[in-house]
Structure 1
Amino acid sequence: MAAGFKMSNKGVGKLLRSEMIRVEMVRRAELIKSVAESIAPVGGPSDPHPGHYKSSFHVSSTLRGGRRRDRATATVSNSAYYARFVEYGTEKVPAHHVLLRAAQAGGR
């Protein structure tokens, strides 16, 4: 006869804060970053900083992330000052949704 399984909330909490999970989150974030870099728009000849947005993606991680600060997380961000305009668009610039599309395609 098989033994029963009883989940331990404390054990699950330890797992979610473990270095093993943080490493996996970073691995997935690096995949998303790679996809984002590959689909990022690059300005044309009149752009004073072509490729700046594309080269400004970064991955960061912590063992104290999430809404309750109780789990390992990794984050992909872009440090270009205009990154949100590229992602969400403006009245004159269409939204590119680079990170959204990268997250949908990568991270597995």
Structure 2
Amino acid sequence: MNSPMVAGEMLRRAQVIKGVAEAISPVGGPGDPHPGQYKKSWYARVERKAVGRSRQKRPVGVVGNSAYYARWVEWGTDKVHAHHVLLRAARIGGR
């Protein structure tokens, strides 16, 4: 479970999800002060995290967005509807 092959597969899967997330990310209109920032802020990497009952560290694929407002795009606010970009990307590309 700690082999380079497993870590490579976790990274591959994370990159697939990242690619889908980039493709479906909303981009602001003409009034947006940062158009395309959210779309360009996706990252994919492998981290070693404690998993399961044994809490042994295993390679885990991580996909995220470094834009400071990413959580509001994902979950929405009282003024902006939720886009659920990461959720939809994981459902589409997480196979």
The normalised TM-score by structure 2 is 0.91
Task: Judging by fraction of residues, say which structure has more strand.
Answer: 2
Q: What count of residue pairs does the alignment treat as equivalent?
A: 92
What is the aligned counterpart of 1:47 among 32, 49, 56? 32
State the distance in 1 between where 2:89 and 2:82 align: 14
Is this contact kept in 2: 1:58–1:76, CA < 8 A?
Answer: yes
Runs of 5+ consecutive residues of structure 2 not aligned to the other structure: none
Larger radius of gyration: 1
- C-alpha offsets along residues 60-89 of structure 1, whole Å, 9 cap, x if unaligned? 212x21442521111000000000000000
Which consecutive segments of 4 or more residues in structure 1 shift more than 6 A? none
- 1:93 maps to 2:93: no
The normalised TM-score by structure 1 is 0.81
Q: Quote the RMSD (CA, aligned, Å).
A: 1.1
- C-alpha offsets along residues 32-72 of structure 1, whole Å, 9 cap, x if unaligned? 0000000000000000110000000001212x214425211
Runs of 5+ consecutive residues of structure 1 not aligned to the other structure: 1-15
State the partner residue of 1:31: 16
How far residue 19 of structure 1 moved from its aligned partner, in angstroms, is: 1.2
**Percent of pairs identical after alignment?**
60
How far residue 107 of structure 1 moved from its aligned partner, in angstroms, is: 2.5
